[in-house]
Amino acid sequence: MAPKPSPPGPSSSGGPNNKKKNNKTSSSIIPPIDPSSSFTPEAFERELKALAAKAQTETWSKWALDQARIYAKSAALLTLIALASTVSQLALSPVYGSIPSSKWHAKLLMAACFAGWSSNLFLHRALPFRAEYLLPVIAVWTPTVQFLLGKVSGTLTASWGPLVTEALTLFPLVGVSTACVATYLEGADLSVLPGWVADAAPGLGSYGFFKAAEKVLGGMVEEFVGRTVLNTRLGMQLVLGGLYALFAPSKLLVWAVPALLHTAILNTHVPTSMALARLNSELAPAGYVILDRAESITGYISVVDSPTEGYRVMRCDHSLLGGEWVKFLGQGQFKGNKVAEPIYGVFAMLEAVRLVKTPEPIPDNEAKALVIGLGIGTTPAALIAHGIDTTVVELDPVVHKFASKYFQLPSDHTAVIEDAVTYTSRLAADDSKPRFDYIIHDVFTGGAEPIALFTLEFLQNLNTLLTPNGVVAINYAGDFALPPPRIVVNTIKSVFPTCRIFREHPRDDKDFAESARDFTNMVIFCTKQQQQQQQQHTDGDGDTISFRTPNERDLLNSPSRRAFLLPQHEVRETDFVDGEEGEGILRRNETERLVKWHAISALGHWTVMRTVLPEVVWEAW
């Protein structure tokens, strides 16, 4: 017997008692059956199956569309906070440096995700409007809050400033976004999964998606930062605000107008000539002016001039890449000099690679030099002035551009704008490529060394590129009260058989006793020659490197080189921290040995930088 058909439901134009209209509606949905041709139980059953299949298809399509909408909205919000996480770190690095900025970052993100996910019901019930309407307002206010808090970074300090800033900007953005995602995913159909898996899947899946998006977007942002106005720190923050506004437009956006006005009129971080002029008017009372600035792959780069003191420096985030005295250029005894006067003695000390006594003296006009890390170009300029064929490897194209434009870097050098690890590996693997009589390794920024450039594997490549009669000079900036300097020196000595170490200035024992910090630059001079082939030097360390006395030609008519070219303050074994943590060497897969000390070293460097230039220079950027 065929199943009895269900009665049609009421139409939109009549209730259940309107029989006439209901009958018309019913006949419009189900075509009348011709009793002469198809009024059989089989035909009737086919009709019912067709209608059931149609209803099932329409229900599945709606379900799929609803599920896709849920996951798309969730993915969009998670992607936006992943981008906001990266941009937040970039915005803090000029004021605090990249390492102090990252100290609390991961913990704060996890706390924000947990707070948002666990309080989503409370948040949505407590607010008189949809929670996502808050997101554009928070995003647009973020640059203003960061700008205002940056003005008091000296009070907040590098230990707490990044945490306070992100707690007022990134935390609410991530927390509200996570709460919205949790609410969206309550509508996700996970019935095909086991019970405990269905309960955990939304939270774990969301966090996994966020971390993956953060990694991918972080790499993309760092690669393309500064290429256009929209790729700058502030540009990306404004783009984020716009994307959030498109995601959740509402009347609440009126509360973002004051922040937009502040950014357009008062925020000196805007990459425009008007904002730069406004910034320089603020710096004028302190006696400084920004000649140029740009954002690039290694950080925020600027050229800072001190007309009152007569010097110029290049800044990278919260660190200095070098500086020179511009007031002496072309004046008096300096007229006709091929090099400028460096403001830091360590840069002149690096040039002492030419003074190291070797079995076979190296004529300058036959020598080849490789400089890893350009800075403002002090060392390459001196080598070029001596007639040495010089190749410079610099990762950041903006650093090379500014060194050539605003400092005394000659154009007659070979510039390699590339990662030094990749470049040296390629050269070391090819016997037909050049080998160098002098290698100067000078890389440092933000209170920490680029660890990959101090590993055993990288130094072995340098050893391959150094001629048998050559000399390498490695500049390392670190805190002698911590293990990393000893680890780095151990690694260098494991590759180069003969080394001797000097620091820029002698230790200030009084300051060391009070602060327990001994942050300084040191230069390690090494050769491939065995110790017994070197001249005797009775310093208790046996046979080692010795230097010839510099002549007038070596000094290049430079008082700075007269004072600092010949290394003076030697580092002894007792100057390093003893202990198991400072033992061993640094390999490519063991870089965490230094990473864990970076936070302490970077905080010390941040404090030192605040004494080198006034706080207003660091805060205004």
With a CB cutoff of 8 Å and minimum separation 6, the contacts of 137 are 252, 253, 255, 256
Percent of the chain surpassing pLDDT 70:
89
Residue 56 confidence class, pLDDT cut points 50, 70, 90? low
Inform me whether the pLDDT recorded for 605 exceeds 50.
yes
- List the one residue out of 363, 140, 107 whose CA is nearest residue 241: 140
Is residue 15, in this structure, part of any structural domain at all? no
More confident residue, 140 or 195: 140
Question: Parallel, antiparallel, or unpaired: how do β-strands 389-394 and 341-342 relate?
Answer: unpaired
Same domain, residue pair 355 and 430 = yes
CA atoms within 13 A on the CB side of 254: 2
Residue 45's pLDDT is what?
A: 72
Residue 13 confidence class, pLDDT cut points 50, 70, 90? very low
Is residue 2, in this structure, part of any structural domain at all? no
Is residue 611, in this structure, part of any structural domain at all? yes
Percent of the chain surpassing pLDDT 90:
71
Inform me whether the pLDDT recorded for 568 exceeds 90.
yes
Same domain, residue pair 230 and 377 = no
Per-residue pLDDT tens over the stretch 534-552: 444 444 344 589 999 999 9
With a CB cutoff of 8 Å and minimum separation 6, the contacts of 262 are 144, 147
Domain count, the chain: 2
With a CB cutoff of 8 Å and minimum separation 6, the contacts of 450 are 443, 444
Same domain, residue pair 258 and 296 = no
Q: Where are the beta strands (DSSP E) in 68-181?
A: none
Residue 94's pLDDT is what?
A: 96
Same domain, residue pair 297 and 259 = no
Same domain, residue pair 463 and 408 = yes
Inform me whether the pLDDT recorded for 347 exceeds 90.
no
Least confident of 235-249, 340-354, 528-542: 528-542
CA atoms within 13 A on the CB side of 128: 2
Inform me whether the pLDDT recorded for 380 exceeds 90.
yes
Is residue 93, in this structure, part of any structural domain at all? yes
Least confident of 3-17, 86-100, 175-189, 218-232: 3-17
Paired tokens of 216 = 């991918």
> Which domain does 134 fall in, by range?
60-266
**φ, ψ for residue 226 (rounded to 5)?**
85, -5
Paired tokens of 311 = 């010097």
Is residue 480, in this structure, part of any structural domain at all? yes
Inform me whether the pLDDT recorded for 198 exceeds 50.
yes
Residue 444's pLDDT is what?
A: 73
- The rounded distance, in Å, linking the Cα atoms of 81 and 67 is 22
- The rounded distance, in Å, linking the Cα atoms of 616 and 289 is 11
| Contacts by 322-329, CB closer than 8 A, 24 or more apart | 322/347, 322/375, 322/376, 322/377, 322/378, 322/407, 323/376, 324/376, 324/378, 324/407, 324/408, 329/408
- The rounded distance, in Å, linking the Cα atoms of 188 and 192 is 11
Is residue 282, in this structure, part of any structural domain at all? no
Identify the residue whose tokens are 């006439």: 20
Same domain, residue pair 198 and 302 = no
Mean pLDDT along residues 602-614: 91
CATH no. for residue 303? Answer: 3.40.50.150
Inform me whether the pLDDT recorded for 24 exceeds 70.
no
Same domain, residue pair 208 and 297 = no
What one-character DSSP code corresponds to residue 545?
-
CA atoms within 13 A on the CB side of 547: 23
More confident residue, 349 or 197: 349
Same domain, residue pair 262 and 295 = no
Residue 422 confidence class, pLDDT cut points 50, 70, 90? very high
Residue 619's pLDDT is what?
A: 94
Inform me whether the pLDDT recorded for 43 exceeds 80.
no
Is residue 157, in this structure, part of any structural domain at all? yes
Inform me whether the pLDDT recorded for 81 exceeds 70.
yes
Contact 347, 565 (CB under 8 A): no
Average pLDDT score over the chain: 88
Inform me whether the pLDDT recorded for 446 exceeds 70.
no
Same domain, residue pair 457 and 323 = yes
Mean pLDDT along residues 81-102: 96
Is residue 364, in this structure, part of any structural domain at all? yes
Mean pLDDT along residues 413-437: 96
Mean pLDDT along residues 445-462: 86
Q: Return the ∠ at Cα 562 (arms to 556 and 565), rounded to 5°.
A: 90
- The rounded distance, in Å, linking the Cα atoms of 437 and 549 is 20
Per-residue pLDDT tens over the stretch 516-532: 888 888 999 999 977 44
Inform me whether the pLDDT recorded for 361 exceeds 60.
yes
Mean pLDDT along residues 132-158: 97
Paired tokens of 581 = 């943590």
Residue 222's pLDDT is what?
A: 87
Mean pLDDT along residues 371-396: 97
How far, in Å, are 180, 452, 461 from residue 465 at the CA level?
A: 56, 17, 6
CB atoms within 10 A of CB 370: 28
More confident residue, 42 or 314: 314
Same domain, residue pair 177 and 110 = yes
Same domain, residue pair 226 and 344 = no
- The rounded distance, in Å, linking the Cα atoms of 212 and 196 is 24
Bridge partners of residue 304, in order along the sequence: 290, 313
Contact 97, 317 (CB under 8 A): yes
Inform me whether the pLDDT recorded for 432 exceeds 50.
yes
- The rounded distance, in Å, linking the Cα atoms of 296 and 425 is 24
Same domain, residue pair 259 and 309 = no
Residue 28's pLDDT is what?
A: 43
